[in-house]
Amino acid sequence: MNLLLTCEHAGNQVPECYNEVFSDIREVLASHRGYDPGALEIARFLATEFNAPLFICETTRLLIEPNRSLDNNQLYSEYSQKLIETDHEQILERYYYPHRNGVEDVITKVSKPVLHLSIHTFTPVLNGNTRAVDIGLLFDPHRRSEADFCREFMDGLELMLPYLTIKFNEPYKGTDDGFTTHLRTKFDDKDYLGIEIEVNQKYIGTEKWELISVGLKEVLFDLLYEGK
């Protein structure tokens, strides 16, 4: 199985030509709304350990949301929506299509099946509600290959990280609009497994953060290699 990693919310960079749009919202840019803190660290660690290709988006999601489809009303934030249509077209060409088309192109060319892990993190409290999950495995329950893989993945993670709460399709559903959802329309179940891994940001900077990264690696190694 070919492993491919992506990180759609790797950074909160603002291209210089759009600095004025975000000059008054630096705190928002630095928050979970601007990017996924810690996600790039995990993605790079796994890509290095497995010598796997890694595609990242370091431009802030507040300019363009690479994990949303073109017809999604969250594609542009309330800040970038104010830009004119020609700006939107340029943003798509420079920051949206290169990532998504590049990943799809690789999946098309390499041998199958492909395991695509899209790495994300989430804020522990959203709209006053505390999320009761530490690691979420997001997938489409109707795709047997994804469901089978995630069951084995969860079993391994629960043994490796017994003090954490690991759930399927939390804090979001794996069938919600996203990059993996789009790629499932392009590739058959037997050829493509698109799994989003969501990690709670409350562990950033703690000992458990490193243990989570190592735990993901160890279980993934067992699934990809030890089971052969």
CATH class given for the domain over 2-226 = alpha beta
Non-local (6+) Cβ contacts of 7 within 8 A are 36, 39, 40, 43, 54, 55, 56, 57, 118, 119, 120
For residue 74, the SS3 value is coil
Q: How many helices (H) and strands (E) does the chain have?
A: 8, 8
Q: In 3D, which of 3, 36, 25, 22 has the Cα closest to residue 178?
A: 36
What integer pLDDT is reported at residue 86 of this predicted model?
A: 86
Alpha helix (H) residue ranges in the chain? 19-22, 26-29, 39-50, 85-91, 97-109, 144-160, 179-184, 207-221
What is the tens place of the pLDDT at every residue in 48-62? Answer: 999 999 999 999 999
Amino acid identity, position 22: F
Give the full edge-to-edge strand order of the sheet including 166-168. 54-56, 2-7, 114-122, 192-200, 135-138, 166-168
**Where do the structural domains in the chain lie, given as residue ranges?**
2-226
What integer pLDDT is reported at residue 227 of this predicted model?
A: 58
Task: Report CA-CA distances (Å) from 98 to 55, 57, 95, 125, 203.
Answer: 10, 10, 6, 32, 32
What is the tens place of the pLDDT at every residue in 173-205? Answer: 999 999 999 999 999 999 999 999 999 999 999
The C-alpha atoms of residue 48 and residue 137 are separated, in whole angstroms, by 21
What is the tens place of the pLDDT at every residue in 100-157? Answer: 999 999 999 999 999 999 999 999 999 999 999 999 999 999 999 999 999 999 999 9
The C-alpha atoms of residue 193 and residue 152 are separated, in whole angstroms, by 14
What integer pLDDT is reported at residue 85 of this predicted model?
A: 84
What integer pLDDT is reported at residue 96 of this predicted model?
A: 98
Task: Report CA-CA distances (Å) from 95 to 57, 90, 112, 121, 191.
Answer: 8, 8, 27, 21, 27
What predicted TM-score, i.e. pTM, was given to this entire model? 0.97
What is the tens place of the pLDDT at every residue in 22-40? Answer: 999 999 999 999 999 999 9
